[in-house]
Amino acid sequence: MNKTALITGSSRGIGRATALKLAEEGYNICINYIERGDLADELAAELKSRGHEAIAFQADVADRNQVDAMVSEVTGRFGKVDLLVNNAGVAGQALFQDVTDEMWDRYFSVNLNGARNTIQAVLPGMLHSKSGVIVNVSSIWGLHGASCEVTYSCTKHALIGLTRSLAMELAPSNIRVNCVAPGVINTDMVQVLGKEVLDELADQTPLGRLGTPEDIAEAICFLASDKASFITGQVLVSDGGFVG
């Protein structure tokens, strides 16, 4: 029986690339989205055309009730979730004195509370079977910080703390928890910076280019695989050498 992967924020970008890669490796795929239902349905149809099992489900990960409904649907269709990839996130730049309560709360609600909600929803099944893998997607800014990205950096730093602590808690149940920290990845999220800034960022990257969603998908899939069976509580940085 195939394993099942739930990837949050997977209608596009890193999440989409991860869904495609995991499907190739034999996983049933749950595509989670909040707005781009057209892209999620398109991805599900593409996976099905290749002979894979896939469903798309709309849920705001910041809303526990929506997450619980999504996980209930997935487990009803495929059984327990074997792999959870917490990829959904929001980002943006602002001077710290201009950060509003709404911005602060929304970033934490999605980037951190969203991971908490999904983990708590899938954990009973993992604990029952004493198996499972959780991969959280943080950022190099969660390790090193960034000017004008205080809110985002705080959420991603907290996600690393969640990863390391939860890994220790769940290790006796044979559940691994790891984290990927991407550098500057060429997705819709960074396209708003404009070509000039992106060219500068590519120049600042020792490997001489921006990362691709596929680069991060490979890192996620490695941590999810049996090749990483003795790895837990770790942060895998994939940034082309950007922060050294």
Residues designated catalytic: 152
Residues 6+ positions from 170 with CB-CB distance below 8 Å? 126, 134, 176, 177
SS3 218: helix
**DSSP H or E segment with residue 55:** strand 54-58
DSSP 8-state class, residue 9: T
If phi > 0 it is left, if psi is from -120 to 50 it is alpha, else beta; for residue 53 that is: beta
Residue 224 · residue 132 · CB < 8 Å? no
**DSSP H or E segment with residue 238:** strand 235-238
SS3 content of the chain, % helix, strand, coil (to 5): 50, 15, 30
Tokens 């991860």 belong to which residue?
18
Spatial CA neighbour of 114 closest among 223, 9, 236, 39: 9
How far, rounded to the nearest angstrom, does the alpha carbon of residue 210 sit from its chain's CA centroid?
Answer: 19
**DSSP H or E segment with residue 125:** helix 113-129
